[in-house]
Structures are given as structure tokens and as C-alpha cells.
Structure 1
């Protein structure tokens, strides 16, 4: 089985989707599947410094980067499109990542023209809040292009059950499968000593650290966190908030203004994006993880916070009700008061918070690994390929 995976980007500045694409490909490769990734060299405001238009061998898969024009998330690459039209029929199935992306829309139309089945993965972009953000543009794009692409797909893979329900509300009849994201157990088995993190960010030393790990973006709910954190900061002056993530759209000044107005900016450290060992050192230093999001697909950083054994506070917008059922996280309404109450609960009863963190770690290790995700995704590939190949034969 030869699978072609296509994403507009693999740059780390785009957050969780880039990591999901890579980790899924690597895990599928371990199952003996031939996986090629085709993408561009876009990376936020910059470009990746990578070889272009040639295969690069990685662990379990190959990747080929193409030059592109891009502005934020709008990415186009004529060389990638030309390559795809010539080579797509070498593959049994094309797996596309993200939607509302012109490049992916063109890829899907090439698949239809060349009679190659494709699977679409929206990554939470059909969630109600996501659809209302920049709503008029999305309504037009969806009506003219995206709906047809989703309906023409051989399957849609969602990351949450809520996303599957949203497909039904949108009257998309394409077969849909839920494949949650995962983590690698070995990356969280033993976290590193956080001393290097304290040295780089000295204001965090000897503090009770509340960690937000994600992009600086309107949907992430940092405007809700500011007044909630301020309220709790007055009760627990030893706490310190770490906001760790990239600012791709210039939203950081707005967020700092929220914390300034809440009179707590002095207790907040903005680290920028953390990668590699430093990210794990940050998780080791943290005492509580928080995700106050309005909307998520299936957040990689939530999985990482839980796998690190942290008591986690997440909103219903994070689409992870399973964590509440397992008593592995505080899942709260999307408002500042609910967030503050959960913070107060964790800080007032550290023993119970630690027990929740331990349950969270076990819960993730048992249910949300990349090995499990890859095995389930392989079953999806196997289930749709015979049907897709039969349909293509009838079209000939």
C-alpha cells in the first residue's frame, strides 16, 4: 500500500497540525506502510531551510518540500501542483490535511481528475466556533468549493466525536471515522530536570507554574484566562503563568493588553515557541496545565499536559469529554468564572490535583498513543480502498 500525504505546511510555527502529520506518517511507516509526504517550505512569516523538490528520507517515511508563495495560512505552490498531476497515480490513496486551504482544494480536484481516491482530515476546522471566525469568507468558500470537496472524498477522518456530529449537521454524507491524536509513551516516561528552563526564564523559579502551551491566537481563549488568572493571583500570589507558544498573526500585543487591564502582567512570562528538550523541561517545571480555548480539534498540547502528569483545566470547546468521564481533567464552561473556580480548586487542594494528574497520565498512556492512532487509520485505509477502486473501475 502506497499512501501520499499532503499538507500545505510542516513548519513548526503552524502548531499541532504539523506535528500530527509527521507523527502519523512515522507511525504508519512502522506498520510497514509506504508513506510519502508532499508539502511546501512555508513556516509562518519565514521559509523552512530544507532541500526543495527532492525526496528527504525520514524515520519511517519520505518527505518532499516544494517552493511556495504564502501569506500567513494562505499557501500556494505551482511546482507542487505540477508534480502531483504527473505523479499522483503512483499512489493507492491520497490523505489530505486541513481544509479552507486553496492548495488542498486543488489537490483534491486533481485526485478526482486522475481517479485516485482521497481522504480528508479537517482538524477541527468545521467546529461551530471555527466556522464563525471570519464567517463571511468561510461561508462563501464553503458553499463554492469546500462542501463539494468534502462530499467527493472517499472518507473523512475527524479527531473528535463532536466533529463527526458537525458533519451530520452540515449534511455531509461522506463516510466519517474518528481517529484521535496521540503521544509517544517514551517521550513522557521520564521528564528532564527543569533547571535549564528556570535559567532561561528566571521569573518562574520557586513559583507555582500554570502552563498554557499553544499558539497566540483569538480562538485559544487567553482573553478569558486573563481575568480568571488575575482573580486567583490575588488569592495565591506565589503562582506564575507561562504562556508558551508562537505569535504567527501579531496577536501578542492584544493579549498583553488583556493581562495589563487585569493587573497581573507582572506574573506572566511569554516564552515564545518552545521545542525539543526545552518544551519537556517546561512541562516538568509546570504544576497545572490550562487550555481556555473557544474551539479545538483535538489538541496536541492537552495530550502532552496530561501525559506529563499535570492536573489539567480545559474548556468544553476543547472537545475532550472523555477526560471528564475518566475524571482525568477539569472540563469547564467557556467563561472566566468557571476557569477561575477550577484554578482555585487545584491550588486549594494540591493532593487531589496531583491525583488527577496521575489519572490523566495513565489515561493518555492507555488510550491515546500514535501507535494506536496509526493502527486505526490503517483500518480506515483498508476499508475504503476496495470500495474506491471498485468505483474508479465503474467510471472507466
Structure 2
């Protein structure tokens, strides 16, 4: 896909240049204008891309937004830019004021790396407080590239984008709620599920007792679903490997991966998927331990499973990659170390920025 490759090239450029970019103006020229060009708009045509577009607000005259993109003489997207080092949080108020003074249905707040697209789903001609499309250009998913393509000059259609914006926005918000509930089930959710399985009176004590059970049930359900998918994929891979090598002798391996190790791995995947794409989580079995890695990289160990002795241990890593072994009685005990596992993953992710 041409758009995807162009965005990837811009992401690579950002990684190379960002430490040399020190101002908002430099951010605009190095990061934001190339993005506008990728969408197909001519940044050298002042009738198509208007810098410092005037958006008068009531008695305040001469208020300007960084860029406005025009189509057929009508602004279709206004853009407010910040320095790439700045967080976009709490910066949408200025854009909010500009929105209702123009005829546009879309606005964009960006620091050249993070992009937040807004529209007026909740109140006509009043910009929503939350974006319907949000992404980091250095960590794009295919689904996000698809949504970005709708803003290309060649395919831009207001009605198409607006009709899809509602689904995008509220699906994203629901997913956030699900992640929060998985981490710490709310009172209402616990009461809902407890009421379905508990026949007694739902006292505060009962709700407290069931809070941990609901969280555990959620995590185990996710683990089992991942387990089923992994088993299916492993089974298919095994069949294909067998067909390929059915006439070749298979050397005996001293490394034996047990079902218990795989079950523990699936639990770890279920925990880490709150922060990581599951495709980034890998495992390697050795004669002495079963390792879980980020990006299949030995320099990024997330944990190790020591199941080959009488007492089982999970090895956890700190920021200095020093392993600390914790005894466990069964694989379900791994859920007790979800914070440590997520902290290790977050540390490696922070080093990528």
C-alpha cells in the first residue's frame, strides 16, 4: 500500500530528526507539512493549504489556526500544531474555540507524532471534547492507516467520515473501559456478575469478596481464548511442518516444552496484552528455563519460568535486567505478578521513544 509506505518513511524520518528539532515551527515544517503532503494536498498552493488561517472569535479578531485545508473554496480541516516534545493533553481548548467559527466538520491537533482528529458528533458545530481518531505515527496499525486514507484528497468525503466517526469514537471509548475493568473491576460490573451467580443478598462484604473473583474470571477467560487460538495456530504449524519433513529424520531434542509451561505462557500473554500487541510477545525454551521475551529479543526479557525443579518459580526482571525469582504453587499464581510484568514491558516500551 503506497500510503502505508509513505507514512512509514515519515515515521523513520521523525525518529532520525526529532532530537534535532527544538521549536514548534521546526516541528511544523519537518513533520506536519510532510504529513499533509502525503494526504495529497499541495502545501505550496495557498488556495489549498492556508497557513495562519484567520478564525475570528467574537470580539477577538485576528485569531489564527496553524493550517486550514480547503476543498472547492471551503475549509475541510483545520490544524493546530504543537512542538513534538509537548503533550497534547489540555491543548484542545484553542482548537475548540476555532472550530465553530469555520464551516469545517473536522479539526486536527498534532505535535507531528501524535494525531488527534475531532468532529461534532454530540452537538452540531461544536467540537467534541474527545477525538474520534487518535494515533501515534511511529506506531501505526493497519486499521489506523485505513482511517487516515479517508482524509486523502482523492477520497475525502465528509459524509463517509462523519458516519464512521461515531463508530470509531465510541468503540475506542468502550475498549478503554474494558481495559480499565480488566485491571480493576468497578462496583457496578462486580454487582452485575455477582447477581447472576450468587443467590444470597448482595451486601458490601459479598461485593468485596466477588471483586477478586470477577477479575480472575475475566483474566482466565481471556487466557483460555488466547490458549485456544494459540493451540489452533500451533496445531496447524505442526501439521505443515510434519508434511514438509515427513521423510526427513527428526533429531532428538533435549529441550522439552511442557503443557504447563505453555499454559503459563498464555496467562502471561493475557496479562501483557493490556499494554502490548500479542505479536510482540515471544517465548524461547531452554534446558534450564522457559523465557518470555519482547520482540523475540534476548536483551528484552520479560520473565522466566523455572518449572524443572521441585519448586516452581517465576523470574521477574527490574530495570537493570536483574532477575528475582518468586515461588509459585500453580500457574494461576502468575496473575499475582501482573503489575511487575506490565512494568517490565512498559520500561522496554519507554526506551523505544
Band the TM-score falls in, shorter-chain normalisation: under 0.3
Q: TM-score, normalised by structure 1?
A: 0.22
- Higher relative contact order (CA closer than 8 Å, sequence separation 6+): 1
Q: TM-score, normalised by structure 2?
A: 0.24
Larger gyration radius, structure 1 or structure 2: 2
